Copies of this chain bind each other. A is one copy, B any other.
């Protein structure tokens, strides 16, 4: 397929959540990310690549030749969302997950994003979850979209290995087994380095500006805290950490207890 103006328009519309959802397709760019998603068996819609890329990655490109469209760098520039377009641009199909009680069968640890706004933060959390062996993330419906190009870019392929569900707050907590820890990070709380984490945990990550919402807070049964180190040289200090950094540090502590 050639890159017709109509198709360019369709691809550009995928920057907007509404159109991604309509077409059930997301964008991935850059050789490392695209190869990672192909190797993780994500369902391919189309791949636009330069002849050089196809030749260089012969072992992989030969197996997926039916999806590949040869384009030149100028054409990739027209559809790329990156400041430095790469030699490969791909469209993958959405994955469909239905939230039900089955996700608790394996007593898995779950990351719960309570209105995470920044797509980069969500992507970075998906990547950290993957690193720390957690394969399930639940997001409130007003959280960033896991298929936003910035989220996909920041997740570095981990979107293929971590299931991201979107649901209403009460629908999720309504089916959560009672034995679960529901953990929220606050300025005051039990020190994460001493907290007796267990596998059956839901870790809440609050919104970047507003923190944890009232609708989620009522389900929290353990308030935890990341201790700040006071510096003797400074009169004031940072009030908080970046949401994906704070979430990742807690996942790191939690993962020590999962071994």
A128 touches B248 (CB 8 A): no
Q: Beta-carbon contacts of A141-157 to B below 8 Å, as 1s and 0s?
A: 00000000000001011
Please encode chain A, from 207 to 235, with 1 for each CB lying within 8 Å of some chain B CB and 0 for all others: 00000000000000000001111110110
A238 touches B156 (CB 8 A): yes
Residue A242 interfacial (CB < 8 Å): yes
- A135/B234 contact (C-beta < 8 A), A193-B256, A229-B258 known: yes
Query: Is there contact, CB below 8 Å, between A237 and B130?
Result: yes
Copies of the chain in the assembly: 2
- Which one of A40, A135, A231, A242 has the highest number of Cβ atoms from chain B below 10 Å of its Cβ? A242
**Do B245 and A128 touch (CB < 8 A)?**
yes
Most buried by B among A132, A161, A226, A231: A231
CA distance A41 to B245 in the complex (A): 27
A27 to chain B, nearest CB (A): 19
Q: Given that A40-B236, A135-B234 are known contacts, is A128 also in contact with B229, CB under 8 Å in the complex?
A: no
Q: How far apart are A187's CB and chain B's nearest CB, in angstroms?
A: 11
Whether A50 is near chain B, meaning CB under 8 Å from some CB there, is no
Q: Which residues of B contact A106 (CB under 8 A)?
A: 233
On chain B, the residues within 8 Å of A229 by CB distance are 131-134, 255, 258-259
Cβ of A64 within 8 Å of any chain B Cβ, yes or no, is: no
A2 to B132, CA, bound (A): 53
Neighbour of A127 across the interface among B130, B161, B238, CB < 8 A: B238
A99 at the interface (CB under 8 A from B): no
Report if A206 contacts B (CB, 8 A). no
Is A62 in contact with chain B by the CB < 8 A criterion? Answer: no
A39 close to chain B: CB less than 8 A: yes
Contact of A233 among B132, B135, B158, B231 (CB under 8 A): B135
| A132 to B231 Cα, complex, angstroms | 8
Q: CA separation between A234 and B136, bound complex, in Å?
A: 12
Q: Does A241 contact B (CB under 8 A)?
A: yes
Question: A252 on the interface (CB 8 Å rule)?
Answer: yes
Q: Which of A39, A130, A228, A258 has the most CB of B within 10 A?
A: A130
Contact call B40/A230, Cβ cutoff below 8 A: no
State whether A252 touches B249 (Cβ < 8 A).
Answer: yes
Q: For A128, A135, A227, A238, which residue has the most chain B Cβ atoms within 10 angstroms? A: A238
Enumerate 13 A-B pairs (CB-CB under 8 Å) in ascending A order. A128-B238, A130-B237, A131-B228, A131-B240, A133-B229, A133-B230, A133-B231, A156-B238, A158-B238, A161-B236, A161-B237, A242-B244, A249-B249
